[in-house]
Amino acid sequence: MALFTVTLPGGEIWTPQFVNSIDADKCIACGRCFKVCAQAVLRLIGIDEDGETVELDDDDDDDDEYEKKVMTVGHAERCSGCQACAMICPKKCYSLSAAEV
Ligand code: SF4
Ligand code: SF4
């Protein structure tokens, strides 16, 4: 099966690498990946002591009951495969792969 590729304006063939997952055990919630993602794919969530997901409030009053924050893939369908998130992540949390067509 062939991989999904893009022909760039200069004629070069480029193979996008799409985000699969983010390693919650390694993530330190630094937010670097969130800032560089131009497609609004990523979402910061809380994890409670039972490992359950906690939605974070938009305000900064710190009353959410979570053990730690982690970055997650909120909208994988928006990913352009640019790989900026994985390049900037200091903890090597990202798993990406090319798409088959
Ligand atoms: S590969 Fe690019 S578009 Fe996809 S999540 Fe990472 S930064 Fe966003
Ligand atoms: S850059 Fe890496 S460590 Fe920082 S929030 Fe994103 S996934 Fe987590």
In a domain, 59, yes or no: yes
Higher pLDDT among residues 56 and 96, named by residue: 96
In a domain, 1, yes or no: no
Q: Where does the pLDDT of residue 19 fall: very low under 50, low under 70, confident under 90, or very high at 90 and above?
A: very high
CA of 6 to the centre of ligand 2 (A): 27
pLDDT given at position 61: 57
In a domain, 31, yes or no: yes
**For residue range 33-83, what is the model confidence (pLDDT) as tens digits?**
999 999 999 999 999 999 899 988 776 555 668 999 999 999 999 999 999
Q: What pTM does this model have?
A: 0.90
* Number of alpha carbons in the 13 Å side-chain half-sphere of residue 16: 17
CA of 24 to the centre of ligand 2 (A): 9
Q: Which two tokens stand for residue 57?
A: 């409030």
Question: Could you tell me the CATH number of the domain that includes residue 16?
Answer: 3.30.70.20
Q: Whose CA is nearest to atom 3 of ligand 2?
A: 27
In a domain, 57, yes or no: yes
Range of the domain at 58: 6-97
For the segment 24-29, the average pLDDT, to the nearest whole number, is 96
- Report how far residue 38's alpha carbon sits from residue 82's, in angstroms, rounded to the nearest whole number: 9
In a domain, 15, yes or no: yes
Number of domains in the chain: 1
41 lines ligand 2 (CB under 6 A): no
Residues with CB under 6 A from ligand 1: 19, 36-37, 39, 41-42, 79-85
- Report how far residue 9's alpha carbon sits from residue 54's, in angstroms, rounded to the nearest whole number: 43
pLDDT given at position 56: 87
pLDDT given at position 62: 57
- Report how far residue 72's alpha carbon sits from residue 9's, in angstroms, rounded to the nearest whole number: 32
In a domain, 74, yes or no: yes
